[in-house]
Amino acid sequence: MSYAKIHLDVPLNGPFDYRTNGLSVVKGSLVEVPFRNKKQVGIVIDVSENTNVETRRIKGISSIIDVAPLSSDYITLCRFVSEYYCFELGRCLFVGLPRSIRMNRLGKEYLENVYSLTVSGRLEIAGTLDARARGKRRLYEHLLSNEQTVLADARRIYSNASKQLTNWIQSGWVKTEQRNLREFMKVDRAISVTPKKLGLTESQIRSVDSISLDLNGAHVWVLQGVTGSGKTEVYFELMERALQSKKQVLMLVPEINLTPQLKDRLQRRFPSERIVTLNSGLGDSNRLIAWEQARHGVASIILGTRLAVFTPLKQLGLIIVDEEHDTSYKQIEGVRYHARDLAVYLSQLKNIPVVLGSATPSLETYHNVLRERYKRAVLSDRPLGSLPTIELIRVSRSESHTLSPQVIHAMQSKIDDGEQVLVFINRRGYAPALFCSSCQWSVSCHRCSALLTLHKRPDHVRCHHCGYQGRVPSRCSQCGNQDLHDLGHGTQRLEEEVAAQFGHARVIRVDSDSTRRKGSFEAMRQSIDQTQVDIIIGTQMLSKGHDFSNINLVVILGADQALYSGDFRATERQFQQMLQVSGRAGRGSSRGQVLLQTEFPDHPIYQHLIGHSYDDFAIDALKERELSDFPPYSYQAILRASSPSSNSVENFLNRARLCALDLKSEAIDVYDAVPAPIHKIAGLIRGQLLVQSTLRKPLRIFLKRWMKEISNLNESGVRFVLDVDPIDV
Ligand code: ADP
Ligand code: ZN
Ligand code: ZN
């Protein structure tokens, strides 16, 4: 009799033993098994003739899921994630799998109906859409940018998709057919076309040459290039070399919004390669196809957000992590991995190079460069034009979020010259607070320890932490006063002010509210690109990686906020963000200008900023970190707990703390349990406990033992999670 050791997607320590029932399963096989009266998908990690479980209690595998087994490298990676981040291996193994596999929704034949545009549809639909038909337009745009679409995805984009598609089919604009997933596994290298290549600058050539020497072997390279310095061209050259030796390339980007543009650019540069994108915006079926194509080597370039690091790639030869400092590489729910760090691990596992690119490398990465664990290539100039000038404008605190006269003047003259202006403010909504003029009470969320934000069009208040939305209160709930004031500036208010100030200018607001709908970000990006707007008001959404050629003035408001933050990483993020957003200016032919309003123009952070001196900033900041034993000079883990009862949270954390004090070695510091920075969210009280060590290894050993103990604490109603290498403290 043989038994399969199987991991399931459950928060329990597996593996679980099952009889193979004569099915030919191997390590990595995906199977369906009975578990707690339900069918569950499982992953076989071993097959053996022995078991320690009483044999009559062992159930049998129900069936094998008809996909190729997972590779042993994939299992090794997940094992590392499980060990390092202290999560059950079962959960880690499932994180990166497409939902169709996790849910075993493959269907027998892999057949499904797909829709695509016909040639006449491509030409004629656009002319039939009137301005109000937004849903139809989104559907049309989706069909344009996807070769094939399944109904489920179409519905997600436009609720009335089914009827609309039928209409278009009747007009001959859309055709439908059955597609078979298996067919997508065939390699079909397209015809070779000669790509357009840019002539590289000297520093680009130097970077390519030095990194190329390391294409065989586990090397970590940092490509530190100022914004607009042409890092992407360097990536492309390196990719070309890897692709020539029939290797696959994994390219990670921080934001899903960056993928369509980059995919186009990649496809133009590598016309004969199959490129797939993997991100959470894909429909289940397209994601499954992309994942399988990547896994079977049909796709040679895999472009994706953090989750893509889990894609099993047999021929992987090079990993690129663009904007490596970006915090969205850290997963903050479920298994809390960091995709950049996993990319570095993967490079060792596969013995291949990884390139971490950024204008503003994270201090962790920077530290590794200084310690010579990572090598660095530098691009200090832009091939086109030069870096923008950054000027500081002194304002009082109360004016820091509104446009100062000097800024208004500068904006006007740019607009008069037909150039675009980007106004950056990192707060959405209309006003971040509503308060009573007589008793100073502020309107806060009843479920969170946080203020409600006022939003307009339509008027309502919203909690940015739990998502609560409600009517704007008409009176103060403390004193009954009817005179509630809105305080401060968000993007909506700024939009209103800008529209009033610059009557004839075309204004667009780009934040997570205005871009909620699928496809709307891309539409806005295009209207900026095609200079259909003059003034862009945007949050950090726009600060990343986008290449706009006509923005010549960037205005930064509300920058000082980070200086008040309690998080030791706040200034690092602030600096990165300001330099990134500044980098949006002057990418075209004329020199860009940045105006930053601050109450503290003499603050060293701003002095480094105006000199574009990221290195000086980083070295200063690292000195401060070293003095306080903060990362990267120490390693941290935070135990986060939540419960409706604050007593339970406190009890749990205190018990966990005692337990830690018991177990810990000398190398480890255990701090006091404290409330989380936002103490209550959605009715749950949140607390946290920090442990820290200057040595990685003892901390890992400790965390493993500690988590084992903690899982036995059984404090009722308390949920907890360990966050290793947290990015928010
Ligand atoms: P980064 O990613 O470093 O911010 P990009 O790779 O987006 O910069 O390049 C910025 C701009 O410079 C792009 O428009 C790109 O086409 C252009 N560019 C890059 N390298 C060259 C080059 N060698 N010659 C001319 N233009 C270049
Ligand atoms: Zn009041
Ligand atoms: Zn709330």
Three-state SS for 298?
A: coil
Mean pLDDT on 588-597: 87
Q: What are the φ/ψ torsions at residue 333 (nearest 5 degrees)?
A: -135, 155
Whether 384 lines ligand 1, by a CB cut-off of 6 Å, is: yes
For ligand 1, pick from 320, 544, 547 the residue to mutate: most ligand atoms within 8 Å of CB. 547
Tell which atom from ligand 1 comes closest to the C-alpha of 200. Answer: 23
Tell me, what's the pLDDT at 470? 94
| More confident of the two residues 495 and 281 | 495
**Ligand minimally distant from the alpha carbon of residue 481:** 2
If you average pLDDT over residues 708-713, what whole number do you get? 90
What is the per-residue pLDDT for 183?
Answer: 67
How sure is the predictor about 135, in pLDDT bands with cuts at 50, 70 and 90?
Answer: confident
Residue 355: the pLDDT is 98
Burial-class residue 170 by CB neighbours within 10 Å (0-12, 13-18, 19+): exposed
The rounded percent of the chain whose pLDDT value lies above 90 is: 69
The CA-based angle 571-575-581, given to 5 degrees, is 140
In angstroms, the CA 305 to CA 257 distance is 10
Q: Which ligand is nearest to the CA of 679?
A: 3
Write out pLDDT tens, residues 238-288: 999 999 999 999 999 998 878 888 988 998 899 888 899 998 777 777 888
In the predicted structure, residue 143 carries a pLDDT above the cut 80: yes
At residue 207, the pLDDT reads 97
Those residues with Cβ within 8 angstroms of residue 247's Cβ, 6 or more apart along the chain or in another chain: 300, 315, 316, 317, 318, 352
Average pLDDT for 195-199:
78
* Residue 182: pLDDT band with limits 50, 70, 90: low
Read off the DSSP letter of residue 163.
H
What pLDDT, on a 0 to 100 scale, did the predictor assign at position 568?
92
**Is a pLDDT exceeding 70 seen at residue 311?**
yes
Higher-confidence residue of 221 and 520: namely 221
* CA triple 639-645-648, angle to 5 deg: 50
Task: Establish whether residue 576 lines the binding site of ligand 1, counting it when its CB lies within 6 angstroms of any ligand atom.
Answer: no
C-alpha–C-alpha distance, residues 676 and 688, integer Å: 6
Q: What is the pLDDT of residue 145?
A: 77
What mean pLDDT do residues 299-312 have? 96
Q: Taking residues 691-706, what's their average pLDDT?
A: 96
Give the chain's end-to-end CA distance (angstroms, integer).
51
CA–centroid distance, residue 198 to ligand 1 (Å) = 9
Band of residue 565 on the pLDDT scale cut at 50, 70, 90: confident
Asked if pLDDT for residue 110 goes beyond 90, the answer is: no
Distance CA 63, CA 22 (A): 11
C-alpha span between 229 and 378 (Å, rounded): 10
Res 191 pLDDT > 90: no
193, pLDDT greater than 90: no
Question: How many residues does the structure list for the chain?
Answer: 729
Strand ordering across the sheet containing 375-379: 275-278, 301-304, 248-252, 316-321, 354-358, 220-225, 375-379
In this prediction the pTM is 0.89
pLDDT digits (tens, 9 = 90+) for 621-661: 999 999 999 999 999 999 999 999 999 999 999 999 999 99
Kindly give the number of the ligand 1 atom that is closest to the alpha carbon of 583. 4
Q: What pLDDT was estimated at residue 132?
A: 81
pLDDT > 70: what percent of the chain?
Answer: 97
pLDDT of 12 reads 87
Q: Give me ligand 3 centre to Cα 517, in Å.
A: 23
- Ion ligand 2: residues, CB within 5 A, are 436, 438-439, 441, 476, 478-479, 481
**Mean pLDDT in residue range 105-127:** 80
The alpha carbon of residue 487 and the mean position of all alpha carbons in its chain are separated, in whole angstroms, by 31
pLDDT digits (tens, 9 = 90+) for 52-92: 888 888 999 999 998 899 999 999 999 999 999 999 999 99
Average pLDDT over residues 552-562: 91
Q: What is the mean pLDDT of the chain?
A: 91
- For residue 610 and ligand 1, the question of a CB distance below 6 A is answered with no
Query: Where residue 192 falls among pLDDT bands split at 50, 70, 90?
Result: low
Whether 637 contacts 724, CB under 8 Å: yes
**Which tens digit of pLDDT belongs to each residue from 351-366?**
999 999 999 999 999 9
**pLDDT, tens digit, 9 for 90 and up, residues 369-404:** 999 999 999 999 999 888 999 999 999 988 888 899
Amino acid 586: pLDDT = 80
Cα–Cα dist 411/553, whole Å: 7
**Range among 128-137, 426-435, 519-528 with highest mean pLDDT value:** 426-435
In this structure, the residue with its CA closest to atom 12 of ligand 1 is 230
CB 165 within 8 A of CB 154: yes
pLDDT in tens, 674-689: 999 999 999 999 999 9
Residue 130 — very low, low, confident or very high, per pLDDT cuts 50/70/90?
confident
Measured in degrees and rounded to the nearest 5, phi and psi for residue 544 equal -95, 125
Q: Is the CB of 233 under 6 A from ligand 1?
A: yes
CA of 428 to the centre of ligand 2 (A): 25
Query: Can you give the C-alpha Rg of the chain in angstroms?
Result: 27
Does ligand 1 lie within 6 Å of residue 228's CB atom? yes
- Find, among 180, 178, 154, 156, the residue nearest to 166 by Cα: 154
Mean pLDDT to the nearest integer, 139-157: 81
Ligand 1: which of 232, 266, 551 to mutate, judged by most atoms within 8 Å of the beta carbon? 232
Average of per-residue pLDDT across 152-179 = 87
Q: What is the spatial distance between Cα 681 and Cα 445, in angstroms, rounded to a whole number?
A: 9
Does 385 sit in the ligand 1 pocket, CB within 6 Å? no
Contact 339, 331 (CB under 8 A): yes
Answer whether 464's CB lies under 8 Å from 457's CB.
no
User: What's the confidence (pLDDT) of residue 694?
Assistant: 95
**Which of 196, 197, 198 most suits a substitution to test ligand 1, by most atoms within 8 Å of the C-beta?**
198
Which of 239, 358, 384, 589 to probe ligand 1 with, by most ligand atoms within 8 A of CB? 384
Rounded Cα gap, residues 167 and 391, in angstroms: 56
Ligand 1 atom 25, closest CA: 383
